[in-house]
Amino acid sequence: MKAKEIVTLQRSLLVDTEKLLNTQVEMEGTSSAYYLSMASWCHMMGYENAAKYLYTHSDEERMHMMKIFQYINEAGGHAFQPEITGIRHNFNSLREIFELILEHEIAVTKSINNIVDHAFSKKDFATFSFMQWYVTEQREEETMSRRALELFDIIGEEGVGLWTIDQELGKLHAAAHPQV
């Protein structure tokens, strides 16, 4: 019997579940890198509050990655440090950034839902239970991303519009992270 087969006999985590979780590690790591790149663009462009919002969001995504990383190893699997390349550095506008964030968060939600569905169908209730935190988190993140994007339509981008949007992004960030 191969070493890998012996290891999988000593754990309840299925190989295909481990693969899905490692794919999610990569997705959370990509989110962190993507938001850091967006934060840098905002910072460079003088959108101070948008930059703060995105630096924090990037840190949070790394924390999301690490929670799954630790879970895989604690469950007897092997978490892989993901290779993250091809991160975009330039953006056309502040609005484009927040459109991309909402789109990205919806993709993350679908990926989380897929793991939850898989874990339930395999009767892996430990992973199913562990992933509930992410279900709630995605619900909150999608709402926050939608609120941010709505600011562009409510306020408008003309005149002092973009400055005002940046101020409002600062308030959204402060409400969600009173400790930062």
The CA–CA distances, whole Å, from 54 to 15, 58, 129 equal 34, 6, 29
How many residues interact with ligand OFO (rule CB under 6 A)? 9
From residue 44 to residue 63, the character string flagging contacts with ligand OFO as x (rule: CB under 6 A) and all else as - is -----------------x--
Q: Shortest Cβ distance from residue 179 to ligand OFO (Å)?
A: 18
105 is in an annotated binding site: yes
Nearer to ligand OFO, 100 or 155 (CB): 100
The pair of structure tokens assigned to 23 is: 């794919």
Q: How many helices (H) and strands (E) does the chain have?
A: 6, 0
The CA–CA distances, whole Å, from 116 to 1, 106, 177 equal 31, 15, 27
List binders of ligand OFO among 11-40 (CB under 6 A). Answer: 28, 31
Interatomic CA distance for residues 67 and 70, integer angstroms: 5
- Annotated binding-site positions: 28, 61, 64, 105, 138
Q: Which residues bind ligand OFO (CB under 6 A)?
A: 28, 31, 61, 64, 105, 108, 137-138, 141
